[in-house]
Chain A
Amino acid sequence: GQQLNQSPQSMFIQEGEDVSMNCTSSSIFNTWLWYKQDPGEGPVLLIALYKAGELTSNGRLTAQFGITRKDSFLNISASIPSDVGIYFCAGQLRGGSEKLVFGKGTKLTVNP
């Protein structure tokens, strides 16, 4: 099945640093979603984007739906230790079903 290109695969940062990760696709998407997964848990929704160009914030998190509808990024500002986890992007194809297409995830490690 199709998957999104998510990068980077992993990041090691110091507490307080800003983080940026992105997802790209060769297909156009109607919706972009960003999830965070803690070890042993299911992914939890962070931000949902429904409109090209949309920029949405959730606390220290900011995500954007690319103008071309083929990409999205997630920024985390002033990282803290509890930001550790795996971040997934997901998209719903334009004109497609409700199935999500997922990136492989970005594993974030924050050193105190």
Chain B
Amino acid sequence: DVKVTQSSRYLVKRTGEKVFLECVQDMDHENMFWYRQDPGLGLRLIYFSYDVKMKEKGDIPEGYSVSREKKERFSLILESASTNQTSMYLCVTGQLNQPQHFGDGTRLSIL
């Protein structure tokens, strides 16, 4: 069974804090993605990675960075959290010609 684990289900942080969201997968997938999900806006791609130490910007990378030091782990970093980054964050992993799988999500609130 596919297992995509996000480190926190719920997280509350303050404006200006540096925030780390972690995602770990156990399927040896090469591809990992971070999305945010907001009402009325759907799922928007923040960053993705096709390999260790490789990263590419998605559609809305501003205010975020990522780290992929190991194949199984993809971290999303909010350099200086702002209230407009309050959202549901979803990690996705996949492999060529295989369906992609989501983690359970992290609901992040920035106060």
Contact = CB atoms under 8 A, between A and B. Distances in A.
A100 B100 contact: yes
Given A98-B96, A99-B48, A103-B42, A42 B31 contact: no
Interface of A: 1, 3, 31, 33, 35, 40-45, 48, 50, 88, 90, 97-100, 102-105
B103 A1 contact: no
A102 B43 contact: yes
A93 B6 CA distance: 27
B50 A98 contact: yes
Given A1-B45, A98-B94, A99-B45, A45 B101 contact: yes
A77 to B, nearest CB: 22
Contacts of B94: 98
B102 interface: yes
Closest 4 pairs between A and B when the two form their complex, measured CB to CB: A1-B59, A42-B102, A104-B42, A48-B99
Contacts of B4: 42
B108 interface: no
Contacts of B41: 104
B99 A45 contact: yes
Contacts of B103: 42
Interface string B88-111: 001010101101111111010000
Contact of A42 (B42, B50, B90): B90
